[in-house]
Amino acid sequence: MRLAPHFAESQKNLGLALTDSGRHEEAIPVLREAIRLDPNFDKAHNVLGKALFGKGQLPEAIAAYREAIRINPGYDKAYNNLGIVLRNSNQPDAAIAAFRKAISLNERFDMAYVNLGNALRETKQPKQVDEAIALYREALRVNPRYDTAHHEMAWAYHLLKKEDEAFAHSKAALRINPLNPDAHHTLASALLGKEQYPAALAAEREAIRLKPNYAGYHNTLGLILKNLEDGEGAFAAFKEAVRLDPRHVRALYSLGYYHMLRKEPELAVAVLLQAAKVDPADVEVQINLGIALLQAGKKAEGRAVWAKLAAGSNKSAAARAEKYLADYPEQPVPNNPK
């Protein structure tokens, strides 16, 4: 009499309920018990991956999803979930391959189309952004009421500076789900691109009301307030974005800019160094870091930052850095956040 699979199913269901309610730490031992009872229980490995991902244990989550796939090579959901963790582990090529495999196993997997689109869109290469848009359209063909596909497409159009299309898809998402905070955010970004600042402000504030603790929303709020010439409001918004996500490079960059305007160069240097640590390739961060160092009386260090850029392989960045080295022996004005 084999009772183990029956008990394993019960443990898996309990683990899933705990995971879905955000109780990842409690879910993990429950799911490990399900796997102990039935080591070949592919769904338990998949849910374990979800719980581990929720707890921030990305390598362990990847291993759990790979084990689910080893047991069941046709497990489309495990491939999709694996892609999500790989994308969050800065493995974009592997993530793209996992999403493509999920779609090959299930051509009606709307979420996998969107996830693949997001991974391609993040490259910011126009050709891949165009492919992302085609994938979002495919997700909507499968599921016409998939509001997420609309707001992700809006973001892709925003990257291409096609703000009318971004506006239209944000509105389409909100018609389906008025409580979608990301759709309010993409609407705000489109309106910002169209220079309709009061309307953008209202949309971003609604996004924040619905999801208060997302750094990206506060960063965009700061950009809108900057364009409305509310410097104090913008400074507070960027500060909140950095509090919520100390690795948000654009918010760190903007916060550094405002510290310079406020004659706080040492604070500007600190946040710009933090931004440079997260993304050493961000040219705007490096340029403003050099300016902040000059403002702080560290002329040699500031010029050294520009000299390193000038010696790099990025020709556009090198030309800009050479101009700063040649034209600004004293204290140049910091570059505006955009």
Q: What is the pLDDT of residues 4-27, one digit of tens each?
A: 556 788 888 888 888 888 999 999
Contact 150, 188 (CB under 8 A): no
- Give me the half-sphere count of Cα atoms (radius 13 Å) on the Cβ side of residue 209: 9
Query: pLDDT tier at 3 (50, 70, 90 boundaries)?
Result: very low
Amino acid present at 308: K
Contact 220, 250 (CB under 8 A): no
Lowest mean pLDDT among 26-35, 77-86, 129-138, 322-331: 322-331
Contact 52, 64 (CB under 8 A): yes
Q: CA 15, CA 21: separation in Å to the nearest integer?
A: 10
pLDDT at 333 (0 to 100): 65
| Residue 174 reports pLDDT greater than 60 | yes
Angle at 170 between CA 169 and CA 175, to 5 degrees: 95
Q: Dmax of the chain from CA atoms?
A: 84
Q: Burial code of 33-44, b = ≥16 C-beta within 10 A, e = fewer?
A: bbbebbeebbbb
Angle at 117 between CA 112 and CA 121, to 5 degrees: 150
pLDDT at 197 (0 to 100): 98
What predicted TM-score, i.e. pTM, was given to this entire model? 0.88
Q: CA 11, CA 115: separation in Å to the nearest integer?
A: 29
